[in-house]
Structure formats: C-alpha cells, structure tokens
Amino acid sequence: MSTLTFYGAAQRVTGSCYLIRSGQQQILLECGMLQGENNNKKGGKGKKSTNKEESAPPFPFSVSEIDAVIISHAHLDHSGMLPLLAKQGYNGPIYMTLQTQALLPTMHKDAAFLQQKDAEWENKRRARAGKRAIEPLYDMDDVERELALCEGMAYGTVSEILPGIRLCFREAGHILGSAIVELWIEDKGETRKLVFSGDLGNSQAPLMRDPAVITEADLLLLESTYGNRDHQPLDQTLSEFSAALDAAAQSGGNVLIPYFAVGRTQDLIYHLGQLYHSGQLKQNNIFIDSPMATSISEIYEQNTRLFNKDDPEFREIMTHDWQQWLPILRFTRSVEESMALNKIAGGAIIIAGSGMCHGGRIRHHLKYNLWRKNTHLIIVGFQARGTLGRLLVDGVKKVKILGSEIAVKAQVHTLGGFSAHAGQSQLLAWAGHMRKAMPRLYLVHGESESMLALQKRFVEEYNWDASIPTLGEVIHF
C-alpha cells in the first residue's frame, strides 16, 4: 500500500511539500519555501519565518532516497527549496511544465541573490555581537545544479516517470505554467489515481485560462488559500482601481504599486492597457521597475498561446510585445534607470518590487514619495504581518525606510479583487466535478480558519467529508 506524508502546507499556506512512497520508490511532490509568518492552528500571531530557522536544513526525509520530484508551478512557496535539495545531493529528475521550466532560472537566481544578501546583513549583525557567521541556504552554483535536473513537460502529456508511475500536468490557471498534477500509481496489481490541485486560478483573472476540469480520482489534495471567502467582483475592483488613478492624476502626484513579479504584474499591464485603449488612463508614463519582472514579462510574451481567448484584440497585439499593447510602458533594468525615477515629481505610475514592501526597489520610491500628499499608493495583494506594506495598510503615520524616518502623507488604496487564487465558490465548483467519484479529500495550502470553512461547505453542498491533515501526518491509499 502506498503512503503520502504531509511535510508542508498543512494548516498553513506556504512551504508546500508532500512525500509519496510506493513500494521502494519515493516521489517528492513540491519542494516549497516557508514565507511570511507561521500559520499556526489558531491563526494567531506566529514567529516570522526566516531562512535560518524554519526553512533551514535538514529536510525531514532522506534526500538520497528520493527518486523523482514533481513541481506544480514556479512560485517559491512551491519550488523555492529545490536548489537546497540539489545542494544536499539530489541528482534525479525534477518534473514540471515547460513554462515553469522557463520561469525557474530567473526566480531561483533572484532567490539565491537574496539569500546571499540576507546572510551578509545577518553576519554583520552577528559579528558585532561576537556570534558565529552563517551561510546562505544555497548559492548560484546550487541553482545551476538544480536547473540541470529540470525536465519540462507539455500540458496533457502522460509520461511514465518511474516503473508503474505515470504523470500528467493540466492547466491550473494560477500563473503561467501552473499545473494540476495527475499521478497514477500501480501497487500490487491495482492502480490508484492521485490528483493535486496545485494553486487553482481565479476565473476572473484576465490572462490565464480557467483550471482544467478533472472528474475522477481516488485521492484529492485541494488547496484552500481562500477557502473561507469569495473575492470581490472584478468589475468593482477595476472601478476602484480606475478611481484611484484618476484621483492621482487630478492631484498631480505619482502612483506607486508594489508588485508581485509573476502573474500580478502582467495582469496589471493588461488592465492598464484596457484603460489606455478606452481613453480613461490620464497618466503618460508607466514604469515596471524590476529586472526580474521584466524577464518574467518577456517569458509571458513568448507564451501568449496559453492566454485566455476572451480578448482577441489583446491576443493579436500581444503577438508583438507588451509595449505594443501599452505604448506608454517602460521597463527599467539598471540601478541608474531606477534612481532616475525618483526625480519624477508627478504623473507617473511606478510598479516595483517587492509586493509587501519589505525589500526591493519599491522602498526607494516610497522614501521619495510617501511624504507627498499627492502621492497615491495602491496595494493590490496580501500584506503579511510585520511587513512595511501591512503597516501602511493599517494606517501608520511614520515609517523608517533605508535609515530615514518618513512621514506618511500619501493616500493608500487597498484593492482586494486581483487575487490569482480561486475563491471558496470556485474551489467548490472545481472539486464538485469529482463528486460522483467521491475521492478521499484532503485540504492543504490554507490557514486553519479557511480550511474549516471550506470543510463545512463541502458537507453542506455535497455531503462530502474533507480531512484537514496535520504536519507530519501519514495517510495510506
């Protein structure tokens, strides 16, 4: 009998990791990094996760015994520990979609760079305190070692990755390359099918297609990030977005938007392009201030065939590039180009990382703009406790940025409908296609309150019992 062990994303959102054992073979499904704060069972305040603590080695399993790795998509909470896996000796195949394989070099090299910078900063502090220095989790060599193991697969292709084990990826609609994982496992003459939802996309999102429909499984692992609520309707969010841009134009100030490089930035470019083509956009300059977001956007350009078909004009224009869709858009790669943006007193939209304002170029733009009454800061994503973004959303009056105390006089707008995750009703509808098969259902990748709410809805809607696993729990199937 095969087993599955929940090593991550059990009653928490990040750190996705599951180990499947079938006979003598072992498959690692996901190898994600913990991010933000702990998501404990009560949903209360947890200690902020750091690379040196919870994400640190060793893995809770023997790396040398893993035969294959499967990754659903490129986000770091699903793939970010792969370089460490390679560093610790893993040299087998890592399966993913072709698009995820294209995204990983940019994302993991950026992660390694940040690991190095974090270690340097921490070691300066440790040196002053007379403590031993630490090393980053992994470096560029480890990333290169990992990337050499990656094997991309096309959507819909069924491949035998190990004797008696077949794999197929289906579109999940979350970000480019995101996948639902189908896994058929033969054990003692019987075949069992495991389906892992990965992160399911929001059907309101403009670029990605809706998640593929799957009707049969013996075991279903379902994400539950927004298991306790539905998203605000997109039309309402877009109206709020347009109103905030209009207010900024009227006041003569700049618009700052902290970005999430994969998915969110590209969706924003699309929405801004719609406003531009309809004559509603009053700003004359839009800057994507990030080498990483620029590289990711270029990969999106190369995969427009996977975009939603609802906007044929956009698809036609995007056979060229983003700037054909939005002519006033500029990508800034160099530090010098980024610094030059700080001289712009008004009329610009600046989209820069990081999404929660805890690092990256957005901090420089906040330093030069937050104290201006005519600046408008638009928050388009979740802000974790303890981050600068969360402080600004909560209405703090002064913040310290890059060593300077800055008065917060900018207008802050928080928009809630741009999520790339399925909401509660969408999760129920997608899993509902399997209600005749009624597979064993486990809720993962969500905080406890989200899981409990979704668990209740499954009983109410389908009379279907959903289990909520604990970290380290082992199930047989």
Domain borders along the chain are: 3-229+420-476, 234-414
pLDDT digits (tens, 9 = 90+) for 263-318: 888 999 999 999 999 999 999 999 999 888 889 999 998 898 888 877 667 766 76
E-strand spans in 13-144? 18-22, 25-29, 68-70, 94-97
Residue 79's pLDDT is: 96
Amino acid code (one letter) for 102 = A
- Supply the DSSP symbol for 263: T
Residue 67's pLDDT is: 98
Inter-residue contact 360 to 354 (CB < 8 Å): yes
Least confident range from 13-27, 313-327, 336-350, 457-471: namely: 313-327
Pick the more confident residue, 225 or 427: 427
Residue 382's pLDDT is: 67
Residue 320's pLDDT is: 63
Chain-centre distance of CA 470, in angstroms?
23
Residue 384's pLDDT is: 65
**β pairing state of 348-352 and 285-289:** parallel
- Over residues 442-459, the mean pLDDT reads 95
* Cα–Cα distance list, 67 to 70, 91, 97, 255, 297 (Å): 10, 9, 18, 49, 33
Amino acid code (one letter) for 348 = A
How large is the greatest C-alpha to C-alpha distance in the chain, in angstroms?
71
- Over residues 222-248, the mean pLDDT reads 93
Compute the radius of gyration of the chain from its Cα atoms: 22
Write down the mean pLDDT value for the chain.
90
Pick the more confident residue, 316 or 7: 7
Burial of 203-212, coded b for 16+ CB within 10 Å and e otherwise, reads bbbbbbbbbb
Pick the more confident residue, 308 or 109: 109
Distance CA 92, CA 16 (A): 20
* pLDDT-based confidence at residue 46 (cuts at 50, 70, 90): very low
Distance CA 380, CA 110 (A): 22
Inter-residue contact 205 to 383 (CB < 8 Å): no
Burial of 74-110, coded b for 16+ CB within 10 Å and e otherwise, reads bbbbbbbbbbbbbbbebebebbbbebbbbbbbbbbbb
For residue 58, say if its preceding peptide bond is cis, omega within 30 degrees of 0: yes
Least confident range from 25-39, 72-86, 258-272, 416-430: namely: 25-39
The total number of residues written for the chain in this structure = 477
Degrees (nearest 5) of the Cα angle 429, 431, 435? 100
CATH code, 234-414 = 3.40.50.10890
Nearest Cα neighbor of 208 from 185, 176, 237 is 176
Judge whether residue 37 has pLDDT over 60.
no
Nearest Cα neighbor of 248 from 288, 293, 287, 284 is 284
Residue 323's pLDDT is: 85
pLDDT digits (tens, 9 = 90+) for 133-159: 999 999 999 999 999 999 999 999 999
* Environment class of 177 (CB within 10 Å of its CB; exposed 0-12, middle 13-18, buried 19+): buried
- Over residues 328-341, the mean pLDDT reads 93
Inter-residue contact 451 to 441 (CB < 8 Å): no
Judge whether residue 253 has pLDDT over 90.
yes
Residue 14's pLDDT is: 81
Residue 36's pLDDT is: 56
Least confident range from 158-172, 201-215, 253-267: namely: 253-267
Q: Which class does domain 3-229+420-476 fall in?
A: alpha beta
Q: What are the structure tokens assigned to 190, written together?
A: 């019987």
Number of helices (H) and strands (E), helices first, in the chain? Answer: 14, 22
